[in-house]
Amino acid sequence: MAEKTNVVFWANQGPDDIIYRSTQDDLRTITSVTVPEHAVALFIRDGQLMGTLEPGRHTITSANIPWLTKLYNLALGYKETPFKVWIVFISLKMFNGKWGIRSMIKAAKEYEVPIVLMANGDFQFRINDTAVFYTQVLGGLNAYSTGDVNSFMKSFINEQIIQQMNTQYYMDIMENLEKASTNTKILIEQYFAQRGIELLSLKINEVLTTDEDREKVFKYLQFSSKNGESFRKYEVMESMANAIGESTGGAAMGAGMLLFPQMYQQLQQQPVQGVQQQQQPTKVICPTCRGLNDYPYSYCSHCGQPSPLAANPGQPVQAQQPAPPAGAPAGEGKRFKNCPYCGEDLGGLPKTPKFCPYCSEQIN
């Protein structure tokens, strides 16, 4: 049990101490209370705030502190002393703190896909309304130490930052951390004021996301169009191509070959800002050698294998092998306007293919 005294002061006050409660709750008559600079002393009885003392040395009597009369009247029943009260000191200095969050946030204004948000920073605050701070914070916590206040501040500011940053976009924050810091402070400072705390500054030091989500955003920036439509089609096409490459069944490969040209053609038709869109021929992948051919085709221009698109559903492809005409030339590296075997026009191709895409004969 602490020894009774008639002198109360903030013992061993450190530069980072926010709050201190006296070691005993009963005060003798004509007690001296010393309040340090940049602090106030709260008189608490039965959880109720009875009065406040400003910085300086005060002698506790009802003559010079009018609100103490109420304490004298409440003292009936306490034989040992007329003052049954806690004295709580609260510092009004500026304090520094750190915050850090992990949450979800929308990627960009036209690509509102949720991605992981990891952010951290600094903040500064001070208590500017001790009565509100006591009733809204200390009274609810029923805790009277600097550690208790710091725990509250860390939890409270993290919660407020998460709620407000979730209303912004990841790319907007990344492009201008200073502006995002100011916007976030403006949005959350009212909630601190409601608890008697002035939020002096808030700074976002770092904003990160996962490697997977960073790649998504990077691809979106590369292939962006309204609402990210081109990017999503690109992802579908990429998945289709991987599935075709890994498939060993003819049915699965055939289905992929039928879908892939349509997806590729839709992507090619997306307008590119500042560039005149040119008509491009649709390409399909050969399931045998994975070479690209103009769609539709009968035989692969790279390996000579028949196209699965040329077959009737459920039936194998039958390669047509017409007899070569007389005088068909031989040799490699020659340019042909028409196939020397089937006579089909090859003039639209950038170069003479190794195998004719119509009859599969080797011509170059």
pLDDT in tens, 234-273: 566 566 656 655 554 444 444 444 444 444 455 455 554 4
Same domain, residue pair 147 and 48: no
Same domain, residue pair 58 and 121: no
Q: Return the pLDDT at 286.
A: 81
Q: Return the pLDDT at 64.
A: 57
Q: Which residue has the higher pLDDT, 325 or 35?
A: 35
DSSP conformation letters of 100-128: EEEEEEEEETTEEEEEEEEEEEEEEEEE-
- What tens digit of pLDDT does each residue of 285-298 get? 787 887 888 877 78
Examine residue 1 and state whether it is found in any structural domain, yes or no. Answer: no
CB under 8 Å to 248, separation ≥6 — which residues? Answer: none
Same domain, residue pair 245 and 175: no
Neighbours of 47 (CB within 10 A): 11
Residue 155 to residues 98, 99, 148, 188, Cα–Cα distance (Å): 11, 9, 11, 14
- What tens digit of pLDDT does each residue of 111-156 get? 888 999 999 999 999 999 999 999 999 887 777 889 999 999 999 9
Examine residue 132 and state whether it is found in any structural domain, yes or no. Answer: yes
Q: Where are the alpha helices (DSSP H) in 89-210?
A: 130-133, 139-141, 146-165, 170-175, 177-193
Examine residue 218 and state whether it is found in any structural domain, yes or no. Answer: no
Examine residue 342 and state whether it is found in any structural domain, yes or no. Answer: yes
Examine residue 359 and state whether it is found in any structural domain, yes or no. Answer: yes
Domain stop point among 59, 91, 123: 91
CB under 8 Å to 108, separation ≥6 — which residues? Answer: 169, 170, 171, 172, 217, 220
* Structural domain count, the chain: 4
Question: In the chain, which ranges are E strands?
Answer: 7-8, 19-21, 26-27, 31-35, 39-45, 48-53, 56-60, 83-84, 86-91, 95-108, 111-127, 197-208, 283-285, 292-294
Same domain, residue pair 114 and 140: yes
Same domain, residue pair 308 and 322: yes
Same domain, residue pair 258 and 297: no
pTM: 0.57
Distance CA 188, CA 180 (A): 12
- Kindly tell me if the per-residue pLDDT of 96 is higher than 90: yes
State mean pLDDT over 321-338.
55
State mean pLDDT over 202-226.
84
Q: Return the pLDDT at 229.
A: 59
- Kindly tell me if the per-residue pLDDT of 28 is higher than 80: no
Q: Could you tell me the residue range of the domain that residue 154 belongs to? A: 95-210
Domain stop point among 91, 113, 134: 91
At residue 175, what is the residue type? E
Mean pLDDT of the chain: 77
Distance CA 144, CA 18 (A): 10
Same domain, residue pair 78 and 103: no
